[in-house]
């Protein structure tokens, strides 16, 4: 089997080859994948030599030029900036600076950067929430650009309502409500900066949508069993996905809570989990035996020894960094596809936990406690899933049979 240390490297990057190969193996790359990475380094080194450039001449523009040359020579692997990321990361760690052009922010991005700092520093929002707010209001800020400058002096209530009405189209009610909330926040901040004389929060129209109007979508017990059975627990990836699905389907955790679960959050002696929920809220939940067994199987025979994070769940492929919330969601969707089910989201399993609890006669306050809802009204939507009890309350249709 090929070994990355045996790849011949010449040119200005030759001195980095052995260290890069060792680092790849330390991070958990399989030998073949590590060989491909070192061969990419070797090609870059030869190309730099042909251009009479050295390691200190590396910039993003130089790397882009190298990738163009690599494509023109017929290579089929390592053709994107993402492929160079492991190498660039290693070079930076050993002191080689890879310069990136510093873009001059336009008027829109400059204001959004200040707004981002305000949300993070003054308001204390999480980075994820801040990113969502900024993305939602970017189009509105861009609409105020006149001749490369932001024009707030001419802002009128009709501009705000018109933007919301247009942006509301083709959006779900929840997304439209969040857009209105983010826009109110932005207008408050713009007022704080002194760019508008009044906050104008009140001119943002409310998005119509009845609370508790929908019915939470849940899976039936046979479908949950099929979902769990789709994980091949003979493999590390299967043990990981099975453990995540058990946390979602048995405890009703959110995808982000599964992602953030750390090794020290599992209290094996007390049989508890420390759940890092929304708004930096920390709560403890009992650890059921079957969930504990799934976690144990993954930690002992699935989680890579080269994991680079204290989070329980990490990427299957090297580098074995912490798994993202999107990774949790993708694992659920992949399990649903294997089980022959329609697309299933991680949050749908949370709905399933609540639905089954209500059908079993668990009082709503107890359901709210398990789901860690701050308001009982949030849990009240699940009162509608117990159809047998609702039939006792339903009045007969006029003129119909009882």
How far apart are the C-alpha atoms of 345 and 150, rounded to whole Å? Answer: 40
Residue 347 annotated in active site:
yes
Tell me whether residue 320 is one of the annotated catalytic residues: no
Q: Is 254 a catalytic residue?
A: yes
Q: Would you tell me how many other CB atoms lie within 10 Å of the CB of residue 191?
A: 16
Catalytic pick among 201, 347, 348, 372: 347
Residue 350 catalytic? yes
Q: Which of the following is catalytic: 240, 254, 320, 351?
A: 254
Cβ distance 265 to 207 under 8 Å? no
Q: What is the distance between the alpha carbons of residues 99 and 58, in angstroms, rounded to a whole number?
A: 7
Distance CA 383, CA 175 (A): 24
Give 42's contacts (C-beta < 8 A, 6+ positions apart): 7, 8, 9, 10, 11, 13, 17
Residue 347 · residue 254 · CB < 8 Å: yes
Residue of 114, 217, 278, 301 marked catalytic: 278
Helices H / strands E in the chain, number of each: 17, 5
H or E stretch at 277: none
Among 39, 259, 303, 350, the active-site one is 350
Token couple for 233: 């627990």
Say whether 384 is catalytic.
no
Q: Of residues 90, 133, 189, 382, which has the active-site annotation?
A: 382
- Residues with active-site annotation: 254, 278, 347, 350, 373, 382
């Amino acid at each position: 089997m090929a070994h990355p240390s045996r790849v011949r490297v010449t040119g200005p990057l030759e001195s980095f080859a052995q260290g890069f190969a060792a680092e790849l193996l330390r991070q958990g790359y399989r030998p073949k994948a590590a060989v491909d990475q070192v061969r990419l380094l070797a090609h870059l080194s030869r190309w730099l030599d042909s251009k009479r450039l050295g390691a200190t001449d590396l910039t993003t523009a130089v790397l882009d030029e190298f990738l163009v040359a690599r494509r023109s020579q017929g290579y089929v692997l390592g053709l994107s900036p993402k492929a160079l990321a492991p190498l660039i990361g290693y070079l930076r760690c050993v002191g080689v600076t890879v310069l990136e052009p510093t873009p001059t922010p336009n008027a829109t991005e400059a204001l959004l950067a200040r707004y981002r700092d305000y949300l993070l520093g003054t308001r204390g929002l999480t980075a994820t929430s801040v990113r969502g707010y900024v993305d939602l209001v970017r189009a509105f800020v861009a609409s105020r650009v006149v001749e490369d400058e932001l024009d707030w002096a001419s802002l009128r209530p009709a501009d705000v309502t018109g933007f919301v009405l247009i942006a509301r189209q083709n959006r779900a009610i929840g997304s439209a409500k969040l857009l209105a909330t983010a826009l109110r926040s932005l207008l408050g901040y713009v007022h704080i900066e002194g760019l508008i004389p009044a906050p104008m929060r009140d001119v943002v129209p409310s998005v119509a949508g009845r609370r508790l109007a929908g019915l939470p979508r849940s899976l039936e017990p046979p479908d949950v069993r099929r979902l769990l059975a789709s994980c091949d627990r003979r493999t590390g990836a299967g043990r990981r996905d099975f453990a995540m699905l058990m946390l979602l389907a048995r405890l009703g955790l959110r995808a982000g809570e599964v992602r953030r679960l750390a090794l020290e959050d599992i209290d094996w002696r007390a049989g508890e989990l420390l759940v890092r929920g929304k708004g930096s809220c920390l709560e403890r939940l009992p650890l059921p035996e079957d969930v504990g067994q799934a976690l144990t199987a993954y930690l002992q025979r699935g989680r890579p020894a080269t994991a680079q994070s204290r989070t329980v769940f990490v990427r299957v492929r090297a580098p074995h960094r912490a798994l993202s919330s999107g990774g949790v969601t993708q694992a659920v969707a992949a399990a649903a596809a294997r089980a022959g089910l329609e697309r299933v989201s991680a949050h749908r399993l949370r709905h399933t936990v609540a639905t089954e609890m209500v059908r079993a006669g668990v009082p709503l306050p107890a359901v709210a406690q398990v789901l860690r809802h701050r308001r009982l009204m949030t849990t009240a939507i699940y009162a509608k899933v117990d159809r047998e009890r609702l039939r006792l309350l339903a009045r007969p249709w006029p003129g119909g049979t009882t």
